[in-house]
Structure 1
Amino acid sequence: MSTALIGPLLLLAILLAAIGAARRVKMWRQGKPDPNAVPFFKGIAAILPRYLHDLHDVVARDKKFANTHVATAGGFVASVLAMLVVYVFGGDSSFTYGLLAVTFSVMSIGAYQVKKRRDNPPANLSKGVWHRLPYSLLAFSLSGLCIALIQLLGIGNVPIVLTVLLLGGVLLGLAELIFGMTWRGPMKHAFAGALHLGFHRRQGRFGGGRSTGLKPIDLNENTLGVEKPTDFHWNQLLGFDACVQCGRCEKVCPAFAAGQPLNPKKLIQDMVVGMAGGDTRQYAGSAYPGKEAGKSDEARCGAPDKPLFEGLLDADTVWSCTTCRACVEECPMMIEHVDAIVDMRRHLTLAKGETAGKGAETLNNLIATDNPNGLSPQNRAIWAVDLKLDTMENVGSTDVLLWAGDGAFDLAYQRTLRALVALLRHANVSFAILGNEELDSGDLARRLGDEATFQRLAKANVKTLNKYTFQTIVTPDPHAFHVLKNEYADFGGHYSVMHHTEFLAQCVERESLTLNTAKAQSVTYHDPCYLGRYNGGYDAPRFLLERMGMTINEMERSGFRSRCCGGGGGAPITDIQGEQRIADMRMDDARETGASIVAVACPQCAVMLEGVVMPRPAVQDVAVMLLERVIDTGQSAGGRNG
């Protein structure tokens, strides 16, 4: 059998792929420079270990598909390398033909599993060209396998028709899998995805790290936030191009499930259209809820220098996001959807003054009174007026600085604060509050896109905090916890910050708090997004509940897959309408467990879940529950704040 064409075809495909790669890189480089981008060779060197470890840690959550991906992708790479040895470098022998047969066999098994998955695909998988991919994979792998076996077995006089069919199958595969990798088609993600791993904007996400804090923007720039695709950093554009359209983000997005006009997968594909130019007719996945997609008369158009909200996107799409990071957590390509959304919000808020819902009113309140509800900043410490708490202004130094947060203005949240004060006294902890010196942490302003107000608040709080001496900041508010811990460092605020459940867990472990477990009940615990997915805080609340003697009935979506309560990212303020409320869906999750109490560890979660109509389980903060079970040993009588 003549295989003389295979080598030249393979080299031609690689050459065309290289040309396409240069074009693709040029397209990404339309974006802004990233001053923190890693050096070229360091990024290239990081690709393989990140592919084998970080990416596959996410893919492996679906073990069956992970094995399919290993067989298909690994078989493909091994097959191409073996083809280069045999057909380009002339290394033809029984061993190399046998090696070709093995690699093509492995790829064929994987390709068959891909086809089975596509025969009855779940709704989150995109269709269109993606339905073509299994056949291209099978044509390449089976044709290559047959050719390898024919040569291994020394079969001569192969009919010309069969020869043409087998070479055609190889040619089809080379066109789809190598040439298409850098041009257009379903394999485009492989080239972009590999480079995305190496030049990711959040290098801290790899090797077991966690990077979730937003970065400041220069408020003196001509363009504030992202108005058009070229306003993104170049490696963000690279990340958009890496999307494999698997729809894992779509499956976990609370706004999509609630029928609000956001689908993170569709949003990323719209970013690709904006970056590359063209229209949205090629997209064959789920639309934004309430909007049809794919009709030629309703196709949206984009271009690199065309404003995103002039024809391609509706503002309601980015205002629907709760910034819960469920999409980011599930993305096997490690795309940063939330960063892109906040960047676009920054432009809408700062440059156009078009914050959705009551956003403008809330931001005006933050500017005028340093709290989102417009309440007098002189009333910030009223919750503690009868508790005789030390203030930092009076004591100057302490072990623990208790950060109250803006929940201090809310009567329901004050129960948590007062319970925490009582627990700290029981544990004989030296602590103080800032009182009226404390301002809003700025989390809400930043998530609504008002970077100017956030930076003002952050700098003012840092200036106040840096006047005093303390070991740790403790707060019951995961949103304040997150910005104090991860985002204030950009403004000179480097602090040890703990969520109240983490600090209380340490107190229980060292037996500063002794518990009575006689009132054990069945509970379910709701993971706050900003404590869990943002900061990995999953264990401490559960440890406390278990030490109270509670039986924890986990919701189906818990831990890193917890469903958002709908309270983050300013979502209750922008109030984009959908088919149902996210908080109602979360309470349905809780009802299914049969638990009598939903334990929470976030004031925003408490507000959202307590707003669900009865009948429903009771909603209680972990600190309130813990105080009910503390045995008074008399240790707190002599301590500060006692």
Structure 2
Amino acid sequence: MLNSLLPLLIFAALAVGVIGALRRARLWRQGRQTPVVWAHLFLMPKRYLNDLHHVVARDKAMAHTHVATAGGFVAAMALALVVHGLQWRNPILGGLLLAASAVMFLGALAVNHRRLNPPEKLSSGPWQRLSKSLLAYSVGMFLISLPLVGVAPTVLGGGVLALILLALVAWGLAEMLIGMGWGGPMKHAFAGSLHLAFHRRPERFDDQHRDPNSSERHDAHRGSRSTALFPLDLTAKVLGVEKPADFQWQQLLGFDACVQCGRCQSVCPAYAAGQPLNPKKLIQDMVVGMAGGSDARYAGSGHPGLDVGRHHGASNQAIVPRLVEAETLWACTTCRACVEECPMMIEHVDAIVDMRRFLTLERGETPEKGAAAIDNLIATDNPGGLDNASRLDWAADLEIPRIQDRPAGVDVLLWLGDGAFDMRNQRTLRALVKILRAGGVDFAVLGEEERDSGDVARRLGDEATFQRLAERNIATLSRYRFQRIVTADPHSFHVLGREYGDFGGNYHVLHHSTFIAELFDAGRISVAAPAQAETVTYHDPCYLGRYNGEFAAPRQVLAALGLEVAEMARSGYRSRCCGGGGGAALSDVPADLPGRARIPDMRIEDVRETGATTVAVACPQCTAMLEGVVEPRPRIKDLAELVADALVEPVRATNATSAPSQSREEEPA
């Protein structure tokens, strides 16, 4: 009986699964069409086995579980198709099938053990059922295959036991194969594999094999991290994403790849602060919108403060507010912690900014403070609405050279950023100027010709204002000669170095921490030993670390100062955001409701756990956010301030026109 029914069951499950897969593919193809390079399918094994598991392996127990369960199932299914489906029976194939089923069983046991008391970040519902389906298939297939190696041939030949085993296999096949195409939990395996093959950012796979904790240095400007936002065609009929069908089809495919593991949820600063954003729920909202229906069947943690089950959508219906509340989108700090942690390499931030673009450009619904900042950028080229001619007022006594007066060019163009209008950040800039002069660096500034880089406008969704600012800055920079740009602002560093290239502006941009580290390397500056022992901790800015991979240089600077550095639990690529990125400080999302906290307050609590008395920072926004925490708290000092305070008599080089151009990338200490 088994010999006749099992092949029918296997091929029926395959057929129904293929039909479901084609149906699922039609859902993805509702999105905006882009060319499909079918040859990329050949890249899938390497990306799955190497690049994907590099991220999965951050949780080693789950990595081993996944290898056993998924690997065991793939091997067992392939062998079952040959042995039972095509009736190619022999002891060797049978033994391999038994081994694969046994490995899958061990993995399934570990999955079930985790599901006995699942952590809050995991979704339940169908995912609880999946763990049992894995066991059912592995047990059923193992016992049914025993006769292949000469064990229990008569007992399994027919009767009730045979039907029970057949039912177990049928249960597993329904979950594994049919559910894979028809929207069950296993759809992540089908969608995820194709997502890896057709990923919008193939450059991400270039670096995923590297250990994020290694000290290996890499060229930070080769672009392989692929963190720049994609340009928006301002001539399109619809600007941004209004409805799920407005996403590119690869993005819809990526949403379906979500395994609901909750890693993004566990690192999201907005979620931890009780803001109305859970990145895992947001991706599932997009799946609901793509397929149609409501979020009532979602079985995980929702957006804080928003009830699960009251939202619904369809592929051609507006996302906001029917499917997602606007405040959910504005709560994001664009820190990319969710993207960094996602084992399926889903791009949450791209999706959020795409939806913000529609709200800002088509509806004019940017939050009040954000709208005011954009209006100021349009009117005055800076978000504060200040007279751009006053950009250098803080340096009236420093006689900083202007590049307009250097027709032969300079080595370093110092990009001030809009921190030049902020009294607190002016202290950082003065310290940086002192360091450059101590190192004999040939530098100059643009002065009033410098405009805002456009970072805030772009993250708030105003791509039009960003592109205008970018084009004007590029036109200005094209008139002058310089070797590289140095800036103390990671946001300007990222935009100038990563995002201006799409508009013809290709520059060698260094963050001031990297440049200062190079000055130390070259012996261009020297510092006095600290007068007394002090414990310092370093806060990694998102746009310097996760976005651009610079973790080593700031720590090298602190080491050169002779300071004892105590790392926070959340540091390096897992650093907690200060809460100021992506225009979040301007988004007016309430932070004073019950259960909600301020992100910078949480970050200062991270600092207190180290016992450090000083927080070394490397970003004007981080400085502002952390200094906004009510005292008593540790003092906040930019790296440039710490170095400037410790400088001794400058060491002048014979050739003061340049410093070594070696760049640093990677990784957290």
With the shorter chain as reference, the TM-score category is over 0.9
Contact 1:521 1:549 in 2 (8 A): no
Partner of 1:164: 163
CA distance in 1, matches of 2:57, 2:16: 33
| Helix, strand or coil at the partner of 1:206 | helix
Alpha-carbon shift at residue 518 of structure 1 (Å): 3.2
Q: Which of the numbers 559, 562, 577 marks the counterpart of 1:546?
A: 559
CA deviation profile, 1:168-206 (whole Å, cap 9, x unmatched): 111111110011101121101110000000111111111
CA distance in 1, matches of 2:386, 2:654: 35
Tell me, yes or no, if structure 1 residue 283 matches structure 2 residue 283.
no
Partner of 1:568: 581
CA distance in 2, matches of 1:2, 1:334: 42
CA distance in 2, matches of 1:640, 1:436: 24
Range with bigger deviation, 146-155 or 548-557? 146-155
Alpha-carbon shift at residue 517 of structure 1 (Å): 2.1
- RMSD value, Cα: 1.4
CA distance in 1, matches of 2:154, 2:87: 22
Tell me, yes or no, if structure 1 residue 265 matches structure 2 residue 280.
yes
Partner of 1:523: 536
Q: Which of the numbers 588, 604, 612 marks the counterpart of 1:595?
A: 612
Aligned sequence identity (%): 56
| Gap change, CA 1:82 and 1:624, over 3 Å in 2 | same
CA distance in 1, matches of 2:305, 2:178: 37
Alpha-carbon shift at residue 627 of structure 1 (Å): 1.3
CA distance in 2, matches of 1:128, 1:44: 32
Tell me, yes or no, if structure 1 residue 481 matches structure 2 residue 493.
yes
CA distance in 1, matches of 2:36, 2:182: 25
Range with bigger deviation, 517-526 or 196-205? 517-526
Tell me, yes or no, if structure 1 residue 40 matches structure 2 residue 57.
no
Partner of 2:191: 192
| Helix, strand or coil at the partner of 2:376 | helix
CA distance in 1, matches of 2:55, 2:107: 19
| Gap change, CA 1:640 and 1:71, over 3 Å in 2 | closer
CA distance in 1, matches of 2:119, 2:451: 47
Q: How does 1:145-184 map to 2 (within 5 A)?
A: 145-158=142-155, 160-184=159-183
Alpha-carbon shift at residue 604 of structure 1 (Å): 0.3
Partner of 1:380: 391
Contact 1:427 1:513 in 2 (8 A): yes
Q: Which of the numbers 227, 231, 252 marks the counterpart of 2:246?
A: 231
Contact 1:474 1:499 in 2 (8 A): yes
Q: Which of the numbers 64, 79, 84 marks the counterpart of 1:67?
A: 64
Contact 2:146 2:153 in 1 (8 A): no
Contact 2:389 2:448 in 1 (8 A): yes
Partner of 2:381: 370
Contact 2:76 2:101 in 1 (8 A): yes
CA deviation profile, 1:260-282 (whole Å, cap 9, x unmatched): 10000111001011111111111
CA distance in 1, matches of 2:500, 2:651: 38
CA deviation profile, 1:574-615 (whole Å, cap 9, x unmatched): 121131100000000001100010000000000000010111
Partner of 1:350: 361
Tell me, yes or no, if structure 1 residue 420 matches structure 2 residue 428.
no
Tell me, yes or no, if structure 1 residue 557 matches structure 2 residue 557.
no
- Amino acid aligned to 2:554: P
Partner of 1:532: 545
Tell me, yes or no, if structure 1 residue 218 matches structure 2 residue 215.
no
Partner of 1:495: 507
CA deviation profile, 1:281-338 (whole Å, cap 9, x unmatched): 11010011011214xxxx3110110000141111000000000000000000100000
CA deviation profile, 1:24-61 (whole Å, cap 9, x unmatched): 11111111123xx55112x2011110001111011000
CA distance in 1, matches of 2:282, 2:480: 45
CA distance in 1, matches of 2:550, 2:138: 45
CA distance in 1, matches of 2:193, 2:358: 30
CA distance in 2, matches of 1:580, 1:529: 20
Contact 2:577 2:603 in 1 (8 A): yes
Tell me, yes or no, if structure 1 residue 242 matches structure 2 residue 253.
no
Contact 1:517 1:547 in 2 (8 A): no
Gaps of 5+ in 2: 208-223, 659-669
- Amino acid aligned to 2:260: Q
- Amino acid aligned to 1:45: F
CA distance in 1, matches of 2:523, 2:36: 46
Contact 1:357 1:576 in 2 (8 A): no
Partner of 2:211: none
Contact 1:240 1:269 in 2 (8 A): yes
Partner of 2:602: 585
Runs (4 or more) in structure 1 with deviation over 4 Å come to 636-641
Tell me, yes or no, if structure 1 residue 96 matches structure 2 residue 97.
no
Q: Which of the numbers 623, 634, 637 marks the counterpart of 1:606?
A: 623
- Amino acid aligned to 2:25: V
CA distance in 2, matches of 1:635, 1:205: 41
CA deviation profile, 1:459-517 (whole Å, cap 9, x unmatched): 00000111111111000000000000000001110000000000110110111112222
Alpha-carbon shift at residue 154 of structure 1 (Å): 3.8
TM-score by length of 1: 0.97
Gaps of 5+ in 1: none
- Amino acid aligned to 1:222: K
| Gap change, CA 1:172 and 1:639, over 3 Å in 2 | closer
| Helix, strand or coil at the partner of 2:410 | strand
Partner of 2:347: 336
CA distance in 1, matches of 2:368, 2:58: 37
Contact 1:425 1:636 in 2 (8 A): no
| Gap change, CA 1:44 and 1:332, over 3 Å in 2 | same
CA distance in 1, matches of 2:56, 2:3: 37
CA distance in 1, matches of 2:153, 2:620: 76
Q: How does 1:78-117 map to 2 (within 5 A)?
A: 78-117=75-114
Partner of 2:637: 620
Q: Which of the numbers 623, 628, 631 marks the counterpart of 2:648?
A: 631
CA distance in 1, matches of 2:437, 2:655: 9
CA distance in 2, matches of 1:153, 1:549: 71
Partner of 1:360: 371
Alpha-carbon shift at residue 639 of structure 1 (Å): 5.7
- Amino acid aligned to 1:332: P
- Amino acid aligned to 2:604: M
| Helix, strand or coil at the partner of 1:620 | strand
Partner of 2:52: 55
- Amino acid aligned to 1:14: L
Q: How does 1:288-327 map to 2 (within 5 A)?
A: 288-294=303-309, 299-327=310-338
CA deviation profile, 1:82-110 (whole Å, cap 9, x unmatched): 11221233321111111111000000000
Tell me, yes or no, if structure 1 residue 21 matches structure 2 residue 21.
yes
CA distance in 1, matches of 2:449, 2:337: 35
Contact 1:425 1:639 in 2 (8 A): no
CA distance in 1, matches of 2:359, 2:232: 14
Alpha-carbon shift at residue 231 of structure 1 (Å): 0.6
Alpha-carbon shift at residue 149 of structure 1 (Å): 2.2
TM-score by length of 2: 0.93
Partner of 1:127: 124
Alpha-carbon shift at residue 359 of structure 1 (Å): 1.2
Contact 2:439 2:650 in 1 (8 A): no
Alpha-carbon shift at residue 157 of structure 1 (Å): 2.7
Partner of 2:663: none
Alpha-carbon shift at residue 637 of structure 1 (Å): 11
Contact 2:494 2:544 in 1 (8 A): yes
| Gap change, CA 1:638 and 1:128, over 3 Å in 2 | closer
Partner of 2:451: 439
Contact 1:381 1:436 in 2 (8 A): yes
Tell me, yes or no, if structure 1 residue 468 matches structure 2 residue 467.
no
CA deviation profile, 1:423-482 (whole Å, cap 9, x unmatched): 111111101101110000000000000000000000000001111111110000000000
CA distance in 1, matches of 2:314, 2:307: 21
Contact 1:325 1:529 in 2 (8 A): yes
